[in-house]
A = this chain, B = another copy of it.
């Protein structure tokens, strides 16, 4: 396709999505659940066919010399397919929030006023490599009564096309418009530029991928973006912390997995407990090969630990999202300095305090300006499934509209419902 054709093609997808969104908003919960269960059944019935399409993507990726972990992310194994099918069925059984009316109250004029939860309309999703995201996004879209336009990575185009065909078949089986879920069939980069600049057709765009992609899309988009930038998550070990618990939480926060955005990247320790706490956690880090970038005070306490890899922290380290076996460590005078440090250097993603002091816990929750604030547990819990949202379309580091893990509600809006009996404004 040339640029003009791509533009026309995307406009067509947009118009079709907008039209389909009205039918989706009208559809009742049972119909949308039927589509989700049909999708699960189709996924299970087509494991072999899906793997054949997927094999073409994998062969192309291997021929192009893609790194093994990247190739792994592409794979639609029977286990991956079973997992996304199960996800569709779980969504089908979850309570339906569309059409729910809340807060209906009578006003002095006599009118009754409440709010109804309705689909947001059409969302665009831009994501990289992993083809299972196609099913996750499609199923969340169906559950929330929206239409969506999906733009997956070019590496997974054959797998994504095969999955999108099954989604459209499931929609048709349930009597819903196939255009409610459309996959962008071209890998032309121009398609993304179009997708994010059609406010008449697309109500919100959700990019999932590297920071560069998300910054580029946020800068160029003419529609709202639910964006997830970096996760520079902190654990603060307070004066009154249970130090056994603190060791377990900080270990889990840093080492349970290094790559997730909700892994801890920075450890703050109250000076009064640093002497008892830091050597213990440093021994854990030493055993697991985690490098510690510390201020001078912390260096003096962790340096003597056998096997510890210690380097001095620079100003930049306090901002860093390592996604690696590295952690920055700083001593602080107490709660005030911890909160100020997190609000200054953090990325407003997820931060935790370990404390037994009720007032400190309350102040940390209130004053740390992050999407998730935690007491006595691991920031690794910041996740739509762990929060009981059933599914997660992304994690927002914004404060506007959706914040933190975004589930079905993030794809809806509340409109005002007013019931009267002939009342007039005077």
| Chain A residues engaging chain B, CB cutoff 8 angstroms | 22, 25-26, 99, 105, 107, 109, 111, 113, 116, 118, 120-121, 203-204, 224, 242, 245, 248-249, 252, 256, 343, 352, 365-367, 369-378, 380-382, 386-388, 399-401, 403-405, 413-426
Contact = CB atoms under 8 A, between A and B. Distances in A.
B424 A252 contact: yes
A403 B413 contact: yes
Contacts of A418: 352, 372-375, 377, 381-382, 387
A419 to B, nearest CB: 5
Contacts of A105: 388
Contacts of A245: 422
A371 to B, nearest CB: 6
Given A366-B99, A372-B416, A422 B377 contact: yes
Contacts of A380: 424-425
A273 to B, nearest CB: 16
B405 A343 contact: no
Contact of A424 (B120, B256, B415): B256
Given A377-B111, A422-B249, A422-B376, A415 B118 contact: no
A380 B416 CA distance: 14
Contacts of A242: 422
A381 B252 contact: no
Copies in the complex: 2
Contacts of A420: 374-378, 381
Given A376-B421, A400-B224, A387 B416 contact: yes
Given A249-B424, A372-B416, 9 more contacts: A22-B343, A22-B367, A107-B388, A118-B366, A248-B422, A374-B418, A374-B419, A400-B413, A405-B416
7 contacts: A203-B399, A248-B424, A370-B415, A372-B418, A374-B420, A378-B424, A403-B415
Contact of A373 (B343, B352, B416): B416
A38 to B, nearest CB: 24
Instruction: Name the residue among A105, A116, A372 with the largest chain B CB count within 10 angstroms.
Output: A372
A416 B396 CA distance: 12
Contacts of A414: 403
Contacts of A375: 418-420
A104 to B, nearest CB: 11
Given A378-B425, A403-B415, A416-B372, A366 B203 contact: no
A419 B358 CA distance: 12
A369 B422 contact: no
Contacts of A423: 377-378, 381
Contacts of A378: 420, 423-425
Contact of A203 (B107, B343, B381, B400): B400
Contacts of A22: 343, 367, 369
A203 B403 CA distance: 13
A60 B64 CA distance: 72
B121 A25 contact: no
Closest 7 A/B residue pairs (Cβ): A377-B420, A380-B425, A401-B401, A374-B418, A252-B424, A372-B416, A399-B413
Contacts of A366: 25-26, 99, 116, 118
Nearest to A244: B422
